Amino acid sequence: MSSWAKAKPTGGGNTPDILNKIPGYSGYRAKESRRDEDKQVRLELAREYDLIAQRLTDVQGELVRAQRFAEIGNVERLERSLRLFTDRLRTATYGYGGLFSDRPVDERALDQLAAFDRALGGDADELRASVEAISSASLGGEDLPQKVRATQGQIDALNRRFDLRAEAINSGQAVSGGGVPDVFASPTQEQAHVADDLHFGDAVSISGADYIVKGRMEFQGDDTAWRQYLLRDGDAEQWLHVPPSTAEPMALLTVTTETPADGANVTIGGKGYTQAASGTATAEIVGESGKQGGLAVSFRRFSGEAGELLFDYDWDVRRQTLAGRTLDPLEIQVYAV
Protein backbone atom coordinates (compact mmCIF):
# COMPACT_ATOMS: atom_id res chain seq x y z
CA MET A 1 0.00 0.00 0.00
CA SER A 2 1.32 3.41 -0.88
CA SER A 3 2.27 5.88 1.85
CA TRP A 4 -0.30 8.30 0.39
CA ALA A 5 -3.13 5.80 0.89
CA LYS A 6 -1.95 5.04 4.40
CA ALA A 7 -2.27 8.67 5.37
CA LYS A 8 -5.30 9.16 7.59
CA PRO A 9 -7.97 11.12 5.71
CA THR A 10 -9.56 14.06 7.45
CA GLY A 11 -12.79 13.06 9.11
CA GLY A 12 -11.75 9.67 10.54
CA GLY A 13 -14.54 9.48 13.15
CA ASN A 14 -16.16 6.08 13.31
CA THR A 15 -15.21 5.19 9.72
CA PRO A 16 -14.09 1.59 10.51
CA ASP A 17 -17.57 0.93 11.95
CA ILE A 18 -19.18 1.99 8.67
CA LEU A 19 -16.97 -0.21 6.50
CA ASN A 20 -17.26 -3.09 8.93
CA LYS A 21 -20.96 -3.13 8.11
CA ILE A 22 -20.07 -4.29 4.59
CA PRO A 23 -19.94 -8.11 4.54
CA GLY A 24 -16.63 -9.29 3.15
CA TYR A 25 -15.32 -5.80 2.43
CA SER A 26 -11.86 -6.36 0.96
CA GLY A 27 -10.91 -2.97 -0.39
CA TYR A 28 -11.75 -4.27 -3.92
CA ARG A 29 -8.98 -6.91 -3.82
CA ALA A 30 -11.39 -9.68 -4.91
CA LYS A 31 -11.88 -8.99 -8.62
CA GLU A 32 -15.04 -11.07 -9.00
CA SER A 33 -16.89 -9.17 -6.27
CA ARG A 34 -15.75 -5.59 -6.97
CA ARG A 35 -19.03 -4.45 -8.52
CA ASP A 36 -21.10 -5.87 -5.66
CA GLU A 37 -18.68 -4.41 -3.13
CA ASP A 38 -18.92 -0.96 -4.70
CA LYS A 39 -22.72 -1.12 -4.61
CA GLN A 40 -22.80 -2.24 -0.97
CA VAL A 41 -20.42 0.54 0.07
CA ARG A 42 -22.48 3.19 -1.73
CA LEU A 43 -25.77 1.96 -0.29
CA GLU A 44 -24.38 1.90 3.24
CA LEU A 45 -22.98 5.41 2.85
CA ALA A 46 -26.32 6.57 1.40
CA ARG A 47 -28.12 5.21 4.47
CA GLU A 48 -25.76 7.16 6.74
CA TYR A 49 -26.30 10.40 4.86
CA ASP A 50 -30.07 9.84 4.61
CA LEU A 51 -30.22 9.89 8.41
CA ILE A 52 -28.43 13.24 8.42
CA ALA A 53 -30.81 14.61 5.77
CA GLN A 54 -33.73 13.53 7.94
CA ARG A 55 -32.15 15.39 10.84
CA LEU A 56 -32.16 18.53 8.67
CA THR A 57 -35.90 17.98 8.21
CA ASP A 58 -36.24 17.89 11.98
CA VAL A 59 -34.24 21.12 12.29
CA GLN A 60 -36.70 22.86 9.97
CA GLY A 61 -39.47 21.84 12.37
CA GLU A 62 -37.46 23.29 15.24
CA LEU A 63 -37.18 26.58 13.37
CA VAL A 64 -40.94 26.62 12.79
CA ARG A 65 -41.58 26.11 16.49
CA ALA A 66 -39.07 28.85 17.29
CA GLN A 67 -40.86 31.11 14.76
CA ARG A 68 -37.61 31.66 12.85
CA PHE A 69 -39.37 31.42 9.51
CA ALA A 70 -36.83 33.49 7.57
CA GLU A 71 -34.14 30.87 8.14
CA ILE A 72 -36.09 27.76 7.16
CA GLY A 73 -35.31 28.16 3.46
CA ASN A 74 -31.55 27.99 4.00
CA VAL A 75 -31.82 24.75 5.98
CA GLU A 76 -34.24 23.36 3.39
CA ARG A 77 -31.65 24.11 0.71
CA LEU A 78 -29.04 22.21 2.71
CA GLU A 79 -31.34 19.22 2.94
CA ARG A 80 -32.04 19.30 -0.79
CA SER A 81 -28.34 19.50 -1.57
CA LEU A 82 -27.57 16.56 0.71
CA ARG A 83 -30.38 14.44 -0.75
CA LEU A 84 -29.00 15.09 -4.24
CA PHE A 85 -25.69 13.71 -2.99
CA THR A 86 -27.30 10.60 -1.46
CA ASP A 87 -29.11 10.03 -4.77
CA ARG A 88 -25.73 10.11 -6.52
CA LEU A 89 -24.41 7.52 -4.07
CA ARG A 90 -27.32 5.17 -4.72
CA THR A 91 -27.63 5.46 -8.48
CA ALA A 92 -24.02 5.79 -9.70
CA THR A 93 -23.42 3.42 -12.60
CA TYR A 94 -20.16 2.41 -14.22
CA GLY A 95 -19.28 0.51 -17.37
CA TYR A 96 -17.30 -2.69 -17.53
CA GLY A 97 -13.98 -1.00 -18.10
CA GLY A 98 -11.63 0.36 -15.49
CA LEU A 99 -11.99 -1.31 -12.12
CA PHE A 100 -14.51 -3.84 -13.43
CA SER A 101 -12.54 -4.98 -16.49
CA ASP A 102 -10.57 -8.21 -16.78
CA ARG A 103 -7.27 -6.42 -17.22
CA PRO A 104 -4.97 -5.91 -14.22
CA VAL A 105 -5.84 -2.92 -12.04
CA ASP A 106 -3.19 -0.64 -10.58
CA GLU A 107 -2.71 -1.55 -6.91
CA ARG A 108 -2.43 2.13 -6.10
CA ALA A 109 -5.95 2.63 -7.48
CA LEU A 110 -7.29 -0.02 -5.10
CA ASP A 111 -5.52 1.68 -2.18
CA GLN A 112 -6.95 4.98 -3.31
CA LEU A 113 -10.51 3.67 -3.56
CA ALA A 114 -10.32 2.25 -0.04
CA ALA A 115 -9.07 5.65 1.15
CA PHE A 116 -11.98 7.38 -0.61
CA ASP A 117 -14.44 5.00 1.07
CA ARG A 118 -12.95 5.69 4.48
CA ALA A 119 -12.99 9.43 3.87
CA LEU A 120 -16.62 9.42 2.71
CA GLY A 121 -17.58 7.37 5.74
CA GLY A 122 -15.71 9.61 8.15
CA ASP A 123 -17.21 12.74 6.62
CA ALA A 124 -20.63 11.58 7.83
CA ASP A 125 -19.50 12.15 11.42
CA GLU A 126 -18.34 15.70 10.74
CA LEU A 127 -21.48 16.53 8.78
CA ARG A 128 -23.67 15.11 11.54
CA ALA A 129 -21.86 17.31 14.06
CA SER A 130 -22.40 20.38 11.86
CA VAL A 131 -26.13 19.67 11.60
CA GLU A 132 -26.36 19.34 15.37
CA ALA A 133 -24.58 22.69 15.68
CA ILE A 134 -27.26 24.22 13.44
CA SER A 135 -29.94 22.65 15.63
CA SER A 136 -28.36 24.02 18.81
CA ALA A 137 -28.07 27.49 17.26
CA SER A 138 -31.72 27.42 16.20
CA LEU A 139 -32.86 26.45 19.69
CA GLY A 140 -30.55 28.95 21.35
CA GLY A 141 -31.52 31.90 19.18
CA GLU A 142 -28.03 32.19 17.67
CA ASP A 143 -27.19 33.39 14.16
CA LEU A 144 -27.32 30.57 11.61
CA PRO A 145 -25.84 31.86 8.32
CA GLN A 146 -22.20 31.05 9.09
CA LYS A 147 -23.04 27.52 10.28
CA VAL A 148 -25.24 26.92 7.24
CA ARG A 149 -22.51 28.11 4.86
CA ALA A 150 -19.91 25.88 6.51
CA THR A 151 -22.24 22.88 6.27
CA GLN A 152 -22.88 23.57 2.58
CA GLY A 153 -19.11 23.64 2.10
CA GLN A 154 -18.93 20.14 3.58
CA ILE A 155 -21.59 18.88 1.17
CA ASP A 156 -19.75 20.47 -1.77
CA ALA A 157 -16.58 18.67 -0.67
CA LEU A 158 -18.47 15.36 -0.54
CA ASN A 159 -19.45 15.78 -4.19
CA ARG A 160 -15.86 16.56 -5.22
CA ARG A 161 -14.61 13.52 -3.31
CA PHE A 162 -17.18 11.27 -4.97
CA ASP A 163 -16.25 12.67 -8.41
CA LEU A 164 -12.64 11.60 -7.89
CA ARG A 165 -13.70 8.19 -6.60
CA ALA A 166 -15.74 7.69 -9.79
CA GLU A 167 -12.76 8.76 -11.89
CA ALA A 168 -10.58 6.10 -10.24
CA ILE A 169 -13.25 3.42 -10.81
CA ASN A 170 -13.80 4.33 -14.47
CA SER A 171 -10.10 4.47 -15.29
CA GLY A 172 -8.82 1.65 -13.06
CA GLN A 173 -5.88 3.94 -12.33
CA ALA A 174 -4.91 6.01 -9.32
CA VAL A 175 -6.13 9.57 -9.69
CA SER A 176 -3.31 12.08 -9.73
CA GLY A 177 -2.97 15.84 -9.79
CA GLY A 178 -3.54 18.73 -7.46
CA GLY A 179 -7.18 17.92 -6.83
CA VAL A 180 -6.45 14.69 -5.00
CA PRO A 181 -4.81 16.15 -1.89
CA ASP A 182 -7.43 18.88 -1.86
CA VAL A 183 -10.33 16.51 -1.30
CA PHE A 184 -8.54 14.94 1.66
CA ALA A 185 -8.14 18.31 3.28
CA SER A 186 -10.73 19.49 5.76
CA PRO A 187 -14.18 19.37 4.15
CA THR A 188 -14.93 22.77 5.64
CA GLN A 189 -11.99 24.31 3.78
CA GLU A 190 -13.26 27.04 1.49
CA GLN A 191 -13.04 26.28 -2.24
CA ALA A 192 -13.61 28.39 -5.34
CA HIS A 193 -16.97 27.95 -7.05
CA VAL A 194 -17.09 26.08 -10.36
CA ALA A 195 -18.18 29.36 -12.02
CA ASP A 196 -15.54 31.46 -10.28
CA ASP A 197 -13.73 32.67 -13.40
CA LEU A 198 -16.01 33.00 -16.43
CA HIS A 199 -15.15 34.83 -19.64
CA PHE A 200 -16.96 36.24 -22.68
CA GLY A 201 -18.41 33.47 -24.79
CA ASP A 202 -18.27 30.78 -22.11
CA ALA A 203 -21.37 28.59 -22.05
CA VAL A 204 -23.15 27.95 -18.76
CA SER A 205 -25.95 25.46 -18.20
CA ILE A 206 -28.17 26.02 -15.14
CA SER A 207 -30.90 23.49 -14.41
CA GLY A 208 -31.02 22.53 -18.08
CA ALA A 209 -31.20 26.11 -19.43
CA ASP A 210 -28.24 27.20 -21.58
CA TYR A 211 -26.66 30.67 -21.45
CA ILE A 212 -23.72 32.55 -22.94
CA VAL A 213 -21.60 34.88 -20.76
CA LYS A 214 -21.96 38.46 -22.05
CA GLY A 215 -20.57 40.61 -19.25
CA ARG A 216 -19.37 40.87 -15.67
CA MET A 217 -19.63 43.13 -12.63
CA GLU A 218 -16.92 42.69 -10.01
CA PHE A 219 -17.24 44.26 -6.55
CA GLN A 220 -14.63 44.82 -3.85
CA GLY A 221 -15.72 46.09 -0.42
CA ASP A 222 -13.78 46.57 2.78
CA ASP A 223 -14.22 42.97 3.89
CA THR A 224 -16.12 41.31 1.08
CA ALA A 225 -15.98 40.70 -2.66
CA TRP A 226 -18.21 39.09 -5.26
CA ARG A 227 -18.79 38.78 -9.01
CA GLN A 228 -21.98 38.81 -11.04
CA TYR A 229 -21.95 37.55 -14.62
CA LEU A 230 -24.44 38.66 -17.27
CA LEU A 231 -25.94 35.56 -18.90
CA ARG A 232 -27.95 35.67 -22.11
CA ASP A 233 -30.31 33.10 -23.62
CA GLY A 234 -31.72 34.64 -26.78
CA ASP A 235 -33.38 37.87 -25.65
CA ALA A 236 -33.57 36.77 -22.01
CA GLU A 237 -30.93 38.02 -19.58
CA GLN A 238 -30.07 36.91 -16.06
CA TRP A 239 -27.19 37.43 -13.66
CA LEU A 240 -25.14 34.68 -12.01
CA HIS A 241 -24.00 35.75 -8.55
CA VAL A 242 -20.66 34.16 -7.56
CA PRO A 243 -19.13 34.77 -4.09
CA PRO A 244 -15.37 34.25 -3.61
CA SER A 245 -15.76 30.75 -2.11
CA THR A 246 -18.19 27.91 -1.49
CA ALA A 247 -18.69 29.25 2.04
CA GLU A 248 -21.51 31.28 0.42
CA PRO A 249 -23.95 30.07 -2.25
CA MET A 250 -24.19 31.16 -5.85
CA ALA A 251 -27.51 32.59 -7.08
CA LEU A 252 -29.39 33.18 -10.32
CA LEU A 253 -30.74 36.73 -10.38
CA THR A 254 -33.04 38.79 -12.59
CA VAL A 255 -33.34 42.58 -12.89
CA THR A 256 -36.49 43.86 -11.21
CA THR A 257 -38.08 47.24 -11.74
CA GLU A 258 -39.17 47.41 -8.09
CA THR A 259 -36.85 49.36 -5.78
CA PRO A 260 -36.53 48.27 -2.14
CA ALA A 261 -37.74 50.76 0.41
CA ASP A 262 -35.52 51.94 3.25
CA GLY A 263 -35.34 49.65 6.24
CA ALA A 264 -34.14 46.17 7.16
CA ASN A 265 -37.29 44.37 5.95
CA VAL A 266 -38.55 44.88 2.42
CA THR A 267 -40.97 43.23 0.00
CA ILE A 268 -40.14 42.73 -3.68
CA GLY A 269 -42.27 40.71 -6.06
CA GLY A 270 -44.54 39.70 -3.21
CA LYS A 271 -41.64 38.12 -1.30
CA GLY A 272 -40.22 39.28 2.00
CA TYR A 273 -36.49 39.94 2.45
CA THR A 274 -34.32 40.83 5.45
CA GLN A 275 -31.19 42.95 5.07
CA ALA A 276 -28.03 40.89 5.62
CA ALA A 277 -25.31 43.39 4.66
CA SER A 278 -24.77 46.91 3.40
CA GLY A 279 -21.92 49.25 2.63
CA THR A 280 -19.89 50.71 -0.21
CA ALA A 281 -17.73 48.97 -2.77
CA THR A 282 -15.51 49.68 -5.73
CA ALA A 283 -16.81 48.07 -8.89
CA GLU A 284 -15.51 47.14 -12.30
CA ILE A 285 -17.98 46.59 -15.15
CA VAL A 286 -17.01 44.65 -18.27
CA GLY A 287 -19.45 44.57 -21.16
CA GLU A 288 -19.64 44.28 -24.91
CA SER A 289 -18.88 47.99 -25.22
CA GLY A 290 -15.77 47.90 -23.06
CA LYS A 291 -14.60 48.11 -19.46
CA GLN A 292 -15.11 50.67 -16.70
CA GLY A 293 -13.18 50.44 -13.45
CA GLY A 294 -12.96 52.29 -10.16
CA LEU A 295 -16.71 52.88 -9.94
CA ALA A 296 -18.15 53.69 -6.51
CA VAL A 297 -21.39 51.98 -5.55
CA SER A 298 -23.50 51.68 -2.43
CA PHE A 299 -25.08 48.29 -1.92
CA ARG A 300 -27.55 46.43 0.24
CA ARG A 301 -27.86 42.65 0.27
CA PHE A 302 -31.02 40.90 1.47
CA SER A 303 -31.93 37.28 2.19
CA GLY A 304 -35.36 35.76 1.56
CA GLU A 305 -37.27 33.08 3.41
CA ALA A 306 -36.68 30.29 0.87
CA GLY A 307 -33.03 30.91 0.03
CA GLU A 308 -33.62 33.93 -2.21
CA LEU A 309 -31.13 36.77 -2.53
CA LEU A 310 -31.72 40.41 -3.42
CA PHE A 311 -29.11 43.06 -4.27
CA ASP A 312 -29.90 46.76 -4.32
CA TYR A 313 -27.21 48.92 -5.97
CA ASP A 314 -27.06 52.71 -5.94
CA TRP A 315 -24.70 53.83 -8.72
CA ASP A 316 -25.32 57.50 -7.88
CA VAL A 317 -26.81 58.13 -11.32
CA ARG A 318 -29.14 55.10 -11.25
CA ARG A 319 -30.50 52.28 -9.08
CA GLN A 320 -30.25 48.61 -9.97
CA THR A 321 -32.06 45.78 -8.20
CA LEU A 322 -31.39 42.09 -8.80
CA ALA A 323 -33.43 39.33 -7.17
CA GLY A 324 -33.47 35.56 -7.47
CA ARG A 325 -32.78 32.20 -5.89
CA THR A 326 -29.68 30.51 -4.57
CA LEU A 327 -28.29 27.56 -6.53
CA ASP A 328 -27.14 24.07 -5.69
CA PRO A 329 -23.64 23.50 -7.15
CA LEU A 330 -24.90 20.44 -9.04
CA GLU A 331 -27.29 22.64 -11.03
CA ILE A 332 -24.40 24.38 -12.82
CA GLN A 333 -22.15 23.21 -15.62
CA VAL A 334 -19.54 25.44 -17.29
CA TYR A 335 -18.25 24.97 -20.82
CA ALA A 336 -15.27 27.28 -21.26
CA VAL A 337 -14.30 28.38 -24.77
Q: What is the pLDDT of residues 251-290, one digit of tens each?
A: 999 999 999 999 999 999 989 999 999 999 999 998 888 8
Average confidence (pLDDT) over 219-225: 84
Average pLDDT over residues 59-76: 89
Asked whether residue 202 carries a pLDDT value surpassing 60, the answer given is yes
Q: What's residue 249's pLDDT?
A: 87
Contact assessment for residue 212 and residue 226, using Cβ atoms and an 8 Å cutoff:
no
| Helix axis angle, 34-65 to 107-140, nearest 10° | 10
Model pLDDT for residues 237-250, shown as the tens digit of each residue? 999 999 988 778 89
Query: Is 90 exceeded by the pLDDT of residue 13?
Result: no
Which residues touch 32 (CB under 8 Å, ≥6 apart)? Answer: none
Torsion from C-alpha of 229, 82, 147, 140, nearest 10 degrees: 140
User: In whole angstroms, what is the distance from residue 230 CA to residue 235 CA?
Assistant: 12
Is the model's pLDDT at 196 over the cut of 70?
A: yes
Beta bridge partners of 221: 281
The per-residue pLDDT of the chain, averaged, comes to: 84
CA dist., res. 286 & res. 278, Å (int): 23
Contact in structure between 313 and 239 (CB atoms under 8 Å): no
pLDDT average, residue stretch 116-143 = 86
* Structure-derived torsion over alpha carbons of residues 172, 48, 20, 169, reported in degrees to the nearest 10: 0
Per-residue pLDDT at 8 exceeds 50: no
Instruction: Identify which has the larger pLDDT, 312 or 137.
Output: 312
Q: How far is residue 337's CA from residue 335's CA, in Å, rounded to a whole number?
A: 7
Of 140-154, 219-233, 241-255, least confident by mean pLDDT is: 140-154
* 87-91 own/partner pairs: CB under 8 Å, 24+ apart: 88/159, 88/162, 89/42, 89/43, 89/45, 89/46, 89/49, 89/162, 90/42, 90/43, 90/46
Q: Is the pLDDT of residue 184 over 60?
A: no
pTM: 0.52
Q: How confident is the model at residue 17 (pLDDT cuts 50, 70, 90)?
A: low
pLDDT at 16: 46
In this predicted structure, what is the pLDDT of residue 168? Answer: 86
User: Within a 10 A sphere around the Cβ of 25, how many other Cβ atoms?
Assistant: 19
